[in-house]
């Protein structure tokens, strides 16, 4: 099957010509083929932190509603995402994970659903952000194993400085879970200790963790200078100012993973709702609690891609930080549009708006 594109981002370089994929095996067959197509094929976007999308909240929705979100996410360039569960009782986490297990077995249309990201419950009340601290627990290996037994978990955000935190980091990493430092008051030394114990990521750098200072670098300073940590970054240009986005990319080239931290009103009509009895409103493009705390993001994956390009990031780097870094962190197959690579890709128009999304060579959305 030919895509009918004018060029493609192949192995990090824009190359003219069409792309052929084989839907029967889900891979790229050839690039640089003659033709007179339109648009640019790029590797699909991967999001590590999606709480909900298009009016769907993953932690409490029915199985049949997942497809509403996955198709909408595919329309915004995502080929894979981590559904993210947060601020719940342990029993509610278990229910959410059981539903995700069922949905993944049915493989809905749209973007691929990866194992869950648990943003909690082992986080610091000092840096709770918009989370509900009554749902927090001290690090506990037995409790973590109970959650892992409930359904697919691939990623856990926790505060390693808490009592038992480093033991839990090592335990989760030993079970193949990506451990991320976040909602944490860790010092730089404690962050480095967590990395040595097996942590691989920092959740949304610059947001909801100990602040960087000249003699107290905290998680951000440690992660930016530690080659073994991937630096998560919310790319809506609301959580983090453009200058700091550029600073982060330049400090940790090849190690920054942009996320949306999307809430259900991303990709949907703005409104207001209740979160543990607190009102959340979207005003002027930002979701906030009444006290002003930002309560997640409402940008879509392709918004983050365009945001990066708008502040001067080249397209190849923008695509990599919106998908390639995430794949490498999770140990997924590389997608660089080379023959034999998985055909998880997006066709962008001249304004970098998706017009077509393929997952494993099959079209899951088209304008």
Q: Which CATH number fits the domain that encloses residue 359? A: 2.30.40.10
Q: How far apart are CA 9 and CA 26, in angstroms?
A: 18
The string of pLDDT tens digits covering residues 206-257 is: 999 999 999 999 999 999 999 999 999 999 999 999 999 999 999 999 999 9
Domain shared by 363 and 299, yes or no? no
Domain shared by 65 and 2, yes or no? no
Give the number of domains in the chain. Answer: 2
Domain shared by 57 and 80, yes or no? yes
Instruction: Give residue 261's domain range.
Output: 45-333
Q: How far apart are CA 6 and CA 38, in angstroms?
A: 5
The pLDDT assigned to 104 comes to: 98
Helices (H), the chain: 66-75, 90-106, 141-150, 165-174, 188-197, 218-225, 242-251, 301-310, 315-319, 325-330
The pLDDT assigned to 332 comes to: 98
The pLDDT assigned to 267 comes to: 87
Regions of the chain with pLDDT less than 50 = none
Q: Which CATH number fits the domain that encloses residue 213? A: 3.20.20.140
Domain shared by 212 and 243, yes or no? yes
The pLDDT assigned to 11 comes to: 97
Domain shared by 117 and 29, yes or no? no
């Amino acid at each position: 099957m030919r895509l009918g594109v004018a060029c493609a981002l192949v192995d990090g370089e824009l190359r003219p010509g069409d792309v052929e994929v084989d839907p029967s095996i889900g891979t790229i067959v050839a690039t640089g083929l003659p033709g007179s197509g339109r648009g640019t094929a790029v590797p699909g976007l991967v999001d590590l932190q999606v709480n909900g999308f298009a009016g769907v909240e993953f932690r409490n929705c029915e199985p049949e509603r997942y497809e509403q979100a996955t198709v909408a996410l595919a329309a915004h360039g995502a080929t894979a995402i981590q559904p993210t569960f947060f601020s719940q009782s342990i029993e509610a986490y278990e229910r959410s994970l059981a539903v995700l297990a069922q949905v993944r077995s049915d493989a809905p249309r749209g973007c691929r659903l990866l194992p869950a990201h648990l943003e909690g419950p082992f986080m610091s009340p000092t840096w709770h952000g918009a989370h509900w601290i009554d749902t927090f627990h001290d690090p506990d290996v037995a409790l973590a194993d109970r959650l892992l037994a409930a359904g697919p978990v691939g990623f856990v955000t926790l505060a390693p400085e808490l009592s038992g935190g480093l033991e839990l980091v090592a335990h989760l990493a030993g079970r193949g879970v990506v451990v991320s430092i976040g909602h944490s008051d860790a010092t730089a030394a404690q962050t480095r200790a967590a990395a040595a114990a097996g942590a691989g990521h920092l959740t949304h750098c610059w947001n909801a963790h100990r602040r960087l200072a000249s003699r107290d670098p905290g998680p951000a300073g440690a992660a930016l200078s530690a080659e073994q940590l991937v630096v998560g970054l919310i790319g809506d240009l609301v959580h983090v100012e453009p200058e700091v986005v550029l600073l982060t990319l330049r400090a940790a080239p090849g190690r920054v993973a942009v996320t949306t931290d999307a809430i259900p009103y991303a990709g949907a009509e703005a409104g207001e709702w209740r979160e543990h009895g607190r009102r959340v409103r979207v005003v002027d493009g930002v979701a906030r609690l009444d006290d002003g705390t930002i309560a997640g993001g409402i940008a879509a994956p392709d918004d983050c891609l365009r945001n990066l390009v708008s502040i001067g990031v080249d397209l190849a780097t923008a695509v990599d930080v919106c998908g390639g870094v995430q794949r490498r962190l999770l140990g997924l197959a590389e997608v660089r549009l080379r023959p034999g690579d998985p055909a998880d890709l997006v066709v962008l128009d001249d304004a970098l708006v998706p017009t077509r999304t393929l997952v494993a060579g099959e079209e899951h959305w088209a304008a």
